[in-house]
Structure 1
């Protein structure tokens, strides 16, 4: 194994925006550091920190945000960084809505096997969110022990998709670790974006949502509903591996009845970079998940960037590791846990006084807002009845005056943001609104 550079060695590194292969050198004065942390024998997790770069505040006066991607198997250091909230976009151009303008951002390729993270054998891959959370406690203990200046800075976990399911479990374990004194940090809250908290509630609302947006007719609604009911029955019987397979079948039914709707944004066509290849011609569960939920996070141009110039820049990636090379194996390893709900974990977080934020894109299908609202209504949190009686507040679109960009409401330690004109990847679709939401949640607006 190639040993990672230490945090201190990398502390003063500056990000060079386009010097890698564009022939020019435009420095972005954002300090960075990165390293591998061995979270278990044979399990190596990669993380990349950008220090907050605000014109009006030092990073010590800004919050620290950890970003967790979905999948499972999607790379925070790749997709989240270069496609959503990092200082540069996939073309290495400055991102005006980068979250680094309002916070220090820690990208973690999680679970192990994701992105640049890797395992020595497939047996070391995680099997469920409990194992994911256990690994993350090792990484966070290492991070806050080395980066002592962040111990008192408000620390938030933001997530997307399956990353939200993992974030919930991680947040609960972190709360326990902080209380026990084993991890020193100022944990301030978790934000669950378009998150796979109650999978069956998402699946059961696909039909009604598509029907209400004129993407299904009566016959299509019946077919999707019947397929979804089979998923529900498997979940009720505790047959979660079967439920995952039936979930994939339900997606096939949706595609057949909608002329291939984009699960991540119902008004957007799938990327040309995600067309079928010869390897996709085989039938089966793995082929379907790869096409719908792994490849969108590993499009060709991003893969070329991460396995080319960025790999060279980092200088610590072992020769036998390919960015995203274990992504499919990560998903397969977690398949038995995929359809399990974690609503009870959210309840435990709220009861413990942890600040919990839900945010969801209006145009998302895979985790539609209707499904999110269903599981929220299942919470046993004692503030839910008061939250439900509240009216939401409109937020103006930061880009267009006198147009509504979102709604939100908050009661005690729970908040919900409805982001308009956005799909599954909210920062990609509505970057200014996502940045404003970040500032509101972290109270640094």
Structure 2
């Protein structure tokens, strides 16, 4: 049955685009050259299963002269032995009070974007310079959090599988594999099991974060190693497509299209929503690709009408991100050796991850959020200047959630959020839900407003009101 499903998916991949293609910058590949010393990949699962926890921890320690002042651990967790599927992680203990600091999992979106993007360009301890050296980020989340970055799902970044059947085809697969990795993580770091745990991420992680959180909730019932999940945070997330597809009105309101163009958007958006209602998710994806992405054919309607090739921040028409600096850095032989990835390819082309999740992209994860919000705290934040997952579209899906606080949320007072003497944004809180708009930020809020993002996540994980 699995082979039949994969065959059908392979056929489908040839016919339809994706509703939410990997919006992150395309990274370059820097293959290992013959004779370069990159060490061997470190697979920790056999050591964990043999009870050699101290050895696993010692071997996972990252040793490199440029990172000598920062403790960290990296390597592979095997999450499916049948397909030899492995997830790569890089863990940074908190600088302050790691024994009691919350444990935060960070997941990049895409689908298929490496979480090292977030580490190096948004909220991790390091920034890669043009000279391929490191400098420290002032507002790194690991100041007061134990932060785990995992390349998710299998096939992303340094994560890999040796069988086509190892790729995730839905969010259940994503949640299962991630839970397996987390159980192994807490086997190596048992002293952190009682710490509060939070699942966080951005963009397409608007699906990953609820899926992983829900998997933890379900597996905790019978799991020997229970994960102390307390909440989840999603930044500029793609969670509920049918209620987030409203680009025409938004682009019209910010002046990027005129009334006539808005009508063109409305027609295509209505078609996409009708297809979603009919369960024709791949066809809906094709419509949205023609509407926004333009990754699988000619330019999209958005590109043609606005002249933009960039939808992270409406103040910029094209990508000026220097993300290739970190891509080159993590593929250097000495860094490969330090991170214990050996000669494993760094997956810069994410087509396979995208293709196997293609039928998933226009499906809603709102029902998972509705279930989680009953027992866990949820932070939903958006950058003011984002296009692809714009604030009004996020609010629209939040207003359509079915949960005990739904009516209170619709009438709740929106408050100013100040950091010192700066107006950082606006916030609204009802029961377990906190919604935040971050001013002067685009799709990647921690990258655009690092101090405010750090204050925001700190208040959330330390149970303080903004």
Fold match by TM threshold 0.5: yes
For 1:295-444, what aligned pairs fall within 5 Å after superposition?
A: 299-308=323-332, 311-319=335-343, 321-325=344-348, 327-351=350-374, 353-397=375-419, 401=421, 403-443=422-462
Comparing 110-119 with 140-149, which one deviates more in the overlay? Answer: 140-149
> What does the per-residue CA deviation read over 1:11-44, in whole Å, with 9 as the maximum and x for residues that have no partner?
66466447xxxxxxxx42x211112111112211
Tell me if structure 1 keeps the 8 A contact 2:60–2:340: no
> What does the per-residue CA deviation read over 1:181-207, in whole Å, with 9 as the maximum and x for residues that have no partner?
44322211111111111123222x211
Q: Secondary structure at the match of 1:386?
A: helix
Question: 2:268 maps to what in 1?
Answer: 227
- Out of 78, 87, 92, the position equivalent to 1:50 is 92
CA distance in 2, matches of 1:170, 1:327: 21
Tell me if structure 2 keeps the 8 A contact 1:254–1:260: yes
> What does the per-residue CA deviation read over 1:54-100, in whole Å, with 9 as the maximum and x for residues that have no partner?
3xxx2112111000100010111x20111111101132211111101
Which structure would you say has the larger RCO, counting Cα contacts within 8 Å and 6 or more residues apart? 2
Question: 1:73 maps to what in 2?
Answer: 112
Tell me if structure 1 keeps the 8 A contact 2:75–2:339: no
Tell me if structure 1 keeps the 8 A contact 2:385–2:442: yes
CA distance in 2, matches of 1:347, 1:174: 16
| Residue 181 of structure 2 corresponds to residue 132 of structure 1 | no
Q: Secondary structure at the match of 2:359?
A: helix
Tell me if structure 2 keeps the 8 A contact 1:68–1:158: yes
Q: CA-atom RMSD, angstroms?
A: 2.0
Tell me if structure 2 keeps the 8 A contact 1:67–1:158: yes
Q: Secondary structure at the match of 1:376?
A: helix
Question: 1:239 maps to what in 2?
Answer: 280
| Residue 310 of structure 2 corresponds to residue 262 of structure 1 | yes
TM-score by length of 1: 0.86
1:304 to partner: Cα distance: 1.2
> What does the per-residue CA deviation read over 1:224-280, in whole Å, with 9 as the maximum and x for residues that have no partner?
222222211211111001111111100110111111152111112423579xxxxxx
TM-score by length of 2: 0.82
- Out of 124, 135, 147, the position equivalent to 1:93 is 135
Question: 2:79 maps to what in 1?
Answer: 39
Question: 1:154 maps to what in 2?
Answer: 196
Q: Secondary structure at the match of 1:396?
A: strand
CA distance in 2, matches of 1:121, 1:373: 40
Question: 2:100 maps to what in 1?
Answer: 61
Comparing 321-330 with 87-96, which one deviates more in the overlay? Answer: 321-330
| Residue 120 of structure 2 corresponds to residue 82 of structure 1 | yes
Q: Secondary structure at the match of 1:93?
A: strand
Q: Structure 2: any 5+ residue segments left out of the alignment?
A: 1-39, 45-54, 293-299
For 1:96-175, what aligned pairs fall within 5 Å after superposition?
A: 96-175=138-217
1:312 to partner: Cα distance: 2.7
Question: 1:8 maps to what in 2?
Answer: 57
Tell me if structure 1 keeps the 8 A contact 2:209–2:234: yes
> What does the per-residue CA deviation read over 1:294-331, in whole Å, with 9 as the maximum and x for residues that have no partner?
xxxxx433321121156434352242x22124522101
> What does the per-residue CA deviation read over 1:128-174, in whole Å, with 9 as the maximum and x for residues that have no partner?
11111111111111111221011011111111011121110111110
Tell me if structure 1 keeps the 8 A contact 2:62–2:338: no
